[in-house]
Structure 1
Amino acid sequence: MTTLPSDPVLTKEGADLRDQAPGAERTLLIACGALAREVLALKQINAWDHMDLICLPAILHNTPDLITDAVRAKVAEHRARYPNIFVLYADCGTGGLLEAACIEMGVQMLSGPHCYAFFDGVEAFEARGEVTSFYLTDFLARQFDAFVWHPLGLDRHPELKDMYFANYEALVYLAQTDDPALTKKARACADRLGLRFERRYTGYGDLARELAKEASQ
């Protein structure tokens, strides 16, 4: 089983920014809090010590119209200290607004519609066309109640489950790590939703590949 840093799930903005002023070679990663654990693991595994990480709250995914302005604000706040900034969001429900903002600001961002696609590999995900599948990542397997069950009101109105998930056939767990405990949690989520369970090991997918490209520049 892959050994990772302690879980940095964030309920508010968090960062591992260094105290020293970064030199020209340093890169700032502005990430969704749902990716914090994975990004820290990749930094540790690859010794990408020139990359600093700041995370916006993962709960912004429940209000995707706020993501673009939140990213704009962080880029503006840190641009003077970092010549290189990489936004670790995909489109994430912003309807193309985040991509347009990143182009305007001259910063890079991840490709794809959402984290499910870039963990699975954007091309592979799109080729599957799994329109009747509900997806979990490692983060969502850990945080299912906080990010799915409670926001949908299923803790208060369990009868809504059939309305929300009537058109789904399977819960697909896109696993970043080989963790039997997380697989058990994900399977339990499928049982709660009444969906067939499938586990697909993706590792870090395009997140790792795109960060590796950035690190080599």
Structure 2
Amino acid sequence: MPTHGNTQRVTTDKVLVIACGMIAREVIAVRERLGLDHLELTCLPAEFHYRPNRIAPAMDKAIEEAKEEGYRHIFVGYADCGTSGRLDRVCEKHGVERIAGPHCFAFYQGVEAFAEIGEGDMLSFYMTDFLCRQFEAFFLKPLRIDEHPELIEDYFGNYEKLVYLAQTDDPALETVARDAAKLLGLSYERRFTGYGDLTTALTSAAGKMPVG
């Protein structure tokens, strides 16, 4: 990952993706799969997933710093992600693009596919590979469910189903998702999405079509 804060400005033709920390592993996987060696990655904190008001100002600053370091090609590795259009205004200000869609749950499934099933998933709680890996850190401890399981009804009582959007075939992660559904009192569904529209978005940003 590039290190920001350099005082020396060197113009580079590499593509810098400034992404949500929740999709860092997936961006790297797509880069390696497609051989996008000229694509570099830096991330904003994954915890911004729960603090969307911080995304746009942090992205504005990150893009400014990247430009100062000499990056001419920058891509925003976020969907709108709860910013209510504020991230789009940052992108417009800097003349950069972002991943299409309202959030990662949409672009993993494919924005068009998500739009078709959107109403049917209104009462679904989504998990991804990242959220399975971080279930304890992102849900149990911050919500204090580990100490106060009675809070489960308060937080998840309006959901009916847990939908695991799987980027990879990992039995260990599926076990986490199944156990989470049981803990939360929800029915369970696994959908294998792979990387969805993330692959298309990064390919376009890198200016290189996948081979083979």
Same structural fold, with TM-score higher than 0.5 when normalized by the shorter chain: yes
Q: Which residue matches 2:23?
A: 35
SS in structure 2 at match of 1:134 = strand
Unaligned runs of 5+ residues in structure 2 are: none
Is the CA contact (8 Å cut-off) linking 1:119 and 1:205 kept in structure 2? yes
Q: Among residues 61, 67, 86, which one is paired with 2:75 in the alignment?
A: 86
Query: Which of 35, 39, 62 is the matching residue for 1:47?
Result: 35
Structure 1: how far apart are the matches of 2:22 and 2:40?
Answer: 16
Residue 61 (structure 1) shift:
1.5
From 43, 61, 67, the counterpart of 1:73: 61
1: CA distance, partners of 2:139 / 2:151 = 13
Aligned to 1:140: 131
Structure 2 CA distance, aligned partners of 1:31 and 1:67? 10
CA distance in 2, matches of 1:32, 1:78: 16
Q: Tell me the distance in 2 between the aligned counterparts of 1:169 and 1:104.
A: 40
**Match of 1:119?**
108
- Identical aligned residues as a percent: 50
Q: CA deviation at 1:154?
A: 1.5
Letter of the structure 1 residue corresponding to residue 102 of structure 2: P
Aligned to 1:206: 197
**Residue 56 (structure 1) shift:** 1.1
TM-aligned CA distance change 1:138 to 1:184, over 3 Å: same
1:156-195 matches, within 5 Å, as 156-195=147-186
Q: Which has the higher contact order (CA 8 A, sep 6+)?
A: 2
Give, in angstroms, the shift of residue 23 of structure 1: 5.4
Structure 1 spans left out of the alignment, 5+ residues: 1-14
Partner of 1:216: 207
Deviations 1:34-93 (A, max 9, x none): 111001111111111111100111011121111111111110001131111000011111
Partner Cα distance (2:9, 2:33) in 1: 24
Q: What RMSD in Å do the two structures reach over aligned CA positions?
A: 1.9
Normalised by the size of structure 1, how large is the TM-score? 0.88
For residues 151 and 16 of structure 2, what CA distance do their matches in structure 1 show? 41
Amino acid of the structure 1 residue aligned with 2:184: L
Code of the aligned partner of 2:30: L
**Number of matched pairs:** 203
TM-score by length of 2: 0.90
Letter in 2 for 1:35: I
Give the counterpart of 1:95 among 53, 74, 84: 84
Q: Distance in 1 between matches of 2:78 and 2:162?
A: 23
Deviation of 1:21 (Å):
7.5
Q: CA deviation at 1:156?
A: 3.0
